[in-house]
Structure 1
C-alpha cells in the first residue's frame, strides 16, 4: 500500500519536474536577454530592435502555426483577448523595457523584475487563480531578499539607474504581470503553442504602423554581426523559445510558481559575469543565490487552487 502511494506521488511529481526544468532553461535564456538587448542598442535605437525582434518572431510563429494541427486563427470571440495580450507583450512590455534598459543597467532591470512573482501572486488572488498562502508569500519575499542581497553585493552603483529608466522598466514589469495573469486561462484553453503564436503575431501587428518610421533597414543591415546576432537571439530564443516555455508552464502550474523563477535571473547573470567576464565570486552571491533557491522551493510547495481541468488542444 505504501509502495503504491509512493508511486502515485512520484507520478504526480514527475511531470512537474519537467516543467521546472523547462522554466530553468527559460531563466538561462532570459538572463542572456539583458545582455543581448544592451549589445543591440549600442548600435541601434530601442524601437528598431523591438520592431525587428517582433517581425522576425511573428514570421517564425506563422510558420509554426502552419505546421501545427488545429485552427490557425483564434476564435472570433477571443480576438479581443488576443490583441490585449499582444498589446501587453509587445508595445507595452517590450517597448517600455528596452527604452528603460537603454537608460538604466541590466542589474537594476533584474532587480525590478524580481517584483514580478509578488505582483503575479497578488493579482492571481484578486482573480481567484491563486490560493492565499503564507508559504507562497514567504517564498516570494525570501527570493526577493536574495535578489537584493546579490545585487547590493555587486555594488550600489550596479543597482541604481536613472529615475526615468526605473519608471519605464517598472511599467514593463506591470505589463508582464498582467500578461502572465491574463495569459494563464488563455493558454489553458488553447494550448501553449497557439496561445503564444497568436499573442506574438498580434504584438507584431500592433507595432506595424510605426514600422516605416523605426525599421531603418539600411542602418540595421550595416550593423555589426554581433548586433545582428543579438537581435536574432531576442527574436528566436527570447520571443519564441522562452515565450513557448512560459505559456507551456502556465498550463501546468500556478502563475506565481512559474513567475518565481524570474528571481533566478540575477543569479544566472552574476554567474555568467564570473564565467565570461572574469568577475570575482563573493559571499553575497552565495548567500543571495541560496535565498533565491529557498524562496523558489517554498513557493513551489505552496498550495494551489483546485480548478476545473484545462481544455488542452494540441
Structure 2
C-alpha cells in the first residue's frame, strides 16, 4: 500500500487548533471507554459486548452514509483494504482489547496503549511515511517517561495486572498501530467519514459469523441500565465519535502526531478513576502528567522535512482516487 502524500506535508499548512482540540475530546472519550468496558463486562462476556458495540455503530454509520452526499460504497479497488482495516479494528483489536481488559485494570490498559505513538512513529519511519526528527523522537520518549512515572507512582504491584491480560492488550496495541498507519492514506483519499464508516461496517460484517453464538439478546436486554448504557457509550461515543475524530486528524496531520495523544490517556484515566471510582491520586500523576504534556508539545512542534518528490506525485493522485471512488459509488 502506498503512503499518502499528506504524511510528508507540514501540518502548519492547516489550522492545528481545532484538530488538537478534537483529539483532546477523543482522549476524554477513550478514557471513558476503559471504564465503560469494565462496567459492561461485569454482566456480559467480552465477545457479546464487542458484537453489540459494532452492530450498533455499523447501523449508525449506515444511516450517516445514507444521508451524506457522495458514494455509499467504497470503490472495488479498495474493498481489500477496507476489509483489512475492518479486521484490524474489530475482530483483532477490540476482541484482544476486551479480553485483555477483562483480565487487567482500566488504568493499566491505558498505560499499555501509551506505547501507540512509539509504534506508529517507528512503522511510519520504516515505510517512509515520515522523516526522522530528533525533536519528535525526544517528545515521544519524554511522554513515554511520563507514562513510566505514572506506573511507578501507582506501584508496580497494583498496576501490573495479569500476564495474560497484559499480553492480549499489547497485541491489541500492535493491531491499533497498524490500523493507524494503514488508515492514514485511506482517510486522506476518501475523507474521515467514509473511511471510518466503511471500516466499521466491515468490522461488523466480519463479526457476523459469531452472532448466533455470542449475541445473547435475552441476557443482554436483562442486564442493568448501567451495563446497557456502557454498551451504548462504546457503540456511539467510542466507535462513532472517537473514530471519526481519529480519522479526521489522520487525514490532516502525520500519524505520529495524532498517536502521541494516546500518551494523555494514563493521566486522564487516573483522574477519571479518582472521580468515578474513588481511587486515590498520587505524586506520580503530577510529575508523570507534566512529562506527558511536555512530550506531546515537543512532538507537535517538531519541524517536518520537505516533501519528497514521490510524495508530490501522490498529492496529485489522491484527489483522482477520490473522484474515481465517487464515480463508482
TM-score bucket (shorter structure): over 0.9
- Which residue of structure 2 aligns with residue 226 of structure 1? 226
Structure 2 gap ranges (5+): 1-10
Q: Deviations over 1:254-284 (max 9, x none)?
A: 0000000001011111122233334443321
The yes-or-no answer on 1:49 pairing with 2:49 is yes
- Stretch of structure 1 that moved more, 135-144 or 272-281: 272-281
- Which residue of structure 1 aligns with residue 111 of structure 2? 111
- Which residue of structure 1 aligns with residue 3 of structure 2? none
Structure 1 gap ranges (5+): 1-10
> Cα RMSD over matched residues?
1.7
The yes-or-no answer on 1:253 pairing with 2:268 is no
Does structure 2 conserve the Cα–Cα contact (< 8 Å) formed by 1:107 and 1:151?
no
- Stretch of structure 1 that moved more, 152-161 or 302-311: 302-311
**TM-score, normalising length from structure 1?**
0.93
Partner Cα separation in structure 2 for residue 113 and residue 26 of structure 1:
14
Partner Cα separation in structure 2 for residue 227 and residue 267 of structure 1:
25
Q: How many residues align?
A: 304
Instruction: Spell out the pairing of 1:36-185 with structure 2 (5 A cutoff).
Output: 36-185=36-185
Partner Cα separation in structure 1 for residue 20 and residue 13 of structure 2:
11
**TM-score, normalising length from structure 2?**
0.89
Question: Alpha-carbon deviation of 1:127?
Answer: 1.4
- Which residue of structure 2 aligns with residue 207 of structure 1? 207
Does structure 1 conserve the Cα–Cα contact (< 8 Å) formed by 2:26 and 2:246?
yes
Question: Alpha-carbon deviation of 1:108?
Answer: 1.7
- Which residue of structure 2 aligns with residue 297 of structure 1? 297
Partner Cα separation in structure 2 for residue 71 and residue 14 of structure 1:
26
Question: Alpha-carbon deviation of 1:112?
Answer: 1.2
- Which residue of structure 2 aligns with residue 20 of structure 1? 20
Question: Alpha-carbon deviation of 1:155?
Answer: 2.3
- Stretch of structure 1 that moved more, 219-228 or 107-116: 107-116
- Stretch of structure 1 that moved more, 149-158 or 124-133: 149-158
Does structure 2 conserve the Cα–Cα contact (< 8 Å) formed by 1:143 and 1:263?
yes
Partner Cα separation in structure 2 for residue 179 and residue 115 of structure 1:
14
Partner Cα separation in structure 2 for residue 51 and residue 207 of structure 1:
7
Question: Alpha-carbon deviation of 1:302?
Answer: 1.8
Change (3 A) 1:279 1:140: same
Change (3 A) 1:176 1:42: same
Does structure 2 conserve the Cα–Cα contact (< 8 Å) formed by 1:107 and 1:158?
no
Partner Cα separation in structure 2 for residue 170 and residue 156 of structure 1:
17
Does structure 1 conserve the Cα–Cα contact (< 8 Å) formed by 2:107 and 2:270?
no
- Stretch of structure 1 that moved more, 265-274 or 221-230: 265-274
Question: Alpha-carbon deviation of 1:13?
Answer: 7.2
- Stretch of structure 1 that moved more, 128-137 or 153-162: 153-162
